[in-house]
Amino acid sequence: MPYWQNWSGRLGEKVRDIHFARSQGDIAGLIGGLGSTAVRLRVAGAGHSHAPLVVGTDRVLDLSGLSGVIACDQDRMTATIRAGTPIYTLGAVLQEAGMALKSQGDIDRQTLAGACATGTHGSGRYLQNLSASIESLTLVDGQGKVRVCSATHQGTDFEALKVGLGAFGVVTEIEIAVRESFKLKEQGFSLTGDELMAQLEGFDDSHDRFEFFWQPQQDQAMVKIMVETDEEPVYPVAEEGKRCAYNYEVLPNHRPHRHTEMEYSIAAEHGPACFAEIRALLQTEFQEVAWPVEYRRVAQDDAWLSNAYQRDTVTISVHQDVNADETQYYQACETIFKRYRGRPHWGKVHYLEGAALADLYPKWREWWQMRDMFDPKQRFLNDFLRAVRPS
């Protein structure tokens, strides 16, 4: 039996088979051919998730062969892109068309569909997560039917599909709103923990693109501020914190060290206080942790399962080496995040059950009802999704 594992190697299992799809017709035929069987199917993107979204299934579908930009519409400022397209391949292609993604994350190894399905985001107080820019989706539902979904077809219910966790069907194409091509200039500098805390609210209020990594053992923060610029790109691209180039050359970073990660989204006004508690926790109870804490900003949106659903957000991420047992550390962090009604990132570690998730997401039950219309046989529900499903 073939073996699937995620990027870090922490999550993996033997499955009946891994099917490499290269066309929408192949995917429709595969799902339609399952008939009345109880076989479960999950799509694997780049495997960059730390959450059990693929394991706990019978078959895995690999969409890496379904890649590339289909069309760029200059009038509507949209790009139609195949679901398995790695984000790192999009920048230059869109830039040649005078376009750019509105936002993207610190990592660009994910596939577009996987990043959208889990609510992946960048950093900026006016920047929404990637899925907020979705204009339409083409997917194959649980019965093998190809469906085009958009606000035109579903109305406001389309917001359910934008962060879909791979549970509505197999997404094959995404039409996404883009913006004009742009360049960024990055400024990086260090602050002590005390200096950071004294200035944190001011950074939040005065910079559109702001983030930091705080190193607990040194009590030092690497702060990054980025501004749009008309300056010419400086090549070769400099090290992180000193870059001036096109957006897709400045925003992503190379993070090769394998790790696990927990990230929670907190209402923006509570971000500094929540970080202060996480900092104190590391300084008093987990002094052995060497991995940094990351702090970013995200603007609110209306996707039903978005971590930024109807509230401007601060995201706080904690990390640990993949070979270390992170459980006690992450559980202690999660206790703090829960006090601030934090919402966990769908692609990262958390320990919440269905009732807790229902309390955090006002549209939780409606999301599941909508999902069941696309997949009444529960074909796309793995062990994790079945465990959190409302009874």
**Same fold across 69-181 and 183-344:** no
Whether the predicted pLDDT of 203 surpasses 90: no
Mean pLDDT of 4-23: 94
pLDDT tens, residue by residue, 179-199 = 999 999 999 999 999 999 999
Rg (CA), the chain: 20
Q: Please provide the DSSP assignment of 114-173 as one string.
A: HHHHTT-----TT---GGGGEEEEEEE-TTS-EEEEEHHHHGGGGHHHHT-TT-S-EEEE
Residue 206 has pLDDT above 90, yes or no: no
- Report pLDDT digits (tens) over 75-129: 999 999 999 999 999 999 999 999 999 999 888 999 999 999 999 999 999 999 9
Percent of the chain with pLDDT over 70: 100
Contact 103, 121 (CB under 8 A): yes
Backbone angles phi and psi of 260, in degrees to 5: -110, 165
Work out the percent of the chain whose per-residue pLDDT is above 90: 93
Q: Please compute the mean of the pLDDT values over residues 200-209 and round it to a whole number.
A: 88
Q: Report the chain's mean pLDDT, rounded to a whole number.
A: 96
Contact status, residue 278 vs residue 317, Cβ threshold 8 Å? no
pLDDT value for 256: 85
**Architecture label for domain 69-181:** 2-Layer Sandwich (3.30)
Residues whose CB is less than 8 angstroms from the CB of residue 236 and which lie 6 or more positions away in sequence, other chains included: none
Residue 255 pLDDT more than 90? no
Asked whether residue 254 carries a pLDDT value surpassing 90, the answer given is no
By C-alpha distance, which of 56, 122, 89 is closest to 296? 122
For the segment 345-363, what is each residue's pLDDT rounded down to a tens digit?
999 999 999 999 999 999 9
3-state secondary structure 21-56: CCCHHHHHHHHHCCCCCCCCEEEECCCCCCCCCCCC
Q: How confident is the model at residue 204 (pLDDT cuts 50, 70, 90)?
A: confident
- In angstroms, the CA 290 to CA 218 distance is 9
User: 327-339 vs 271-284: helix axis angle to the nearest 10?
Assistant: 150
- pLDDT by residue (tens digit) across 369-380? 999 999 999 999
| pLDDT of 48 | 87
pLDDT tier for residue 152 given thresholds of 50, 70 and 90 = very high
Are the C-beta atoms of residues 264 and 345 closer than 8 Å to each other?
A: yes
Rounded to whole angstroms, how far apart are CA atoms 131 and 133?
5
Listed by start position, the domains of the chain span: 3-62, 69-181, 183-344
Q: Which segments within the chain are labelled E, that is strand? A: 3-5, 12-14, 17-20, 41-44, 59-62, 69-73, 78-82, 99-101, 134-140, 146-150, 170-180, 183-192, 209-215, 220-229, 244-246, 259-267, 293-298, 313-321, 343-344
Q: In degrees rounded to 5, what are phi and psi of residue 340?
A: -100, 15
Q: Which pLDDT band, with edges at 50, 70 and 90, does 205 fall under?
A: confident
Domain 3-62, what architecture?
Answer: 2-Layer Sandwich (3.30)
> CATH for 183-344?
3.40.462.10
Three-state secondary-structure class, residue 220:
strand
What integer pLDDT is reported at residue 301 of this predicted model?
98
pLDDT in tens, 274-290: 999 999 999 999 999 99
